Structure 1
Amino acid sequence: MKSFACGDVVPGCEAVWVCSTEDEILASLAGHAGSAHGIHDVSAEMVKTVQEAITTVS
């Protein structure tokens, strides 16, 4: 299982995902980035930042 807390990248955001794979987290984040943060074009740099903040949970 993988976990991502948006607040690790965007201070103050309380959204958290726990998914089977990193790809599932990234797919979920696309909608969240647009609706919660007004980010509609996710750059490669942002994807890398998110990937670095994803953790493995048991």
Structure 2
Amino acid sequence: MPFSFRWSKSLGRGVRVSAGRRGVSVSKRLGRATVSSTGRVTVRLFKGLSWRGKLW
């Protein structure tokens, strides 16, 4: 069984630093959307349902 590693730390005001197998990324919360330095965007449509996509 392979091991996995994921670490996340909140820096306050909607900013989060995450580290895992693929590297380190920073994400920023903008209202209902979260934008990551890796180009991912997540939009919360309503409680329990969200849309996830790539910006680039």
Greater share of residues in helix: 1
Structure with more strand by fraction: 2
TM-score (norm 2): 0.24
* Greater Cα radius of gyration, structure 1 or 2: 2
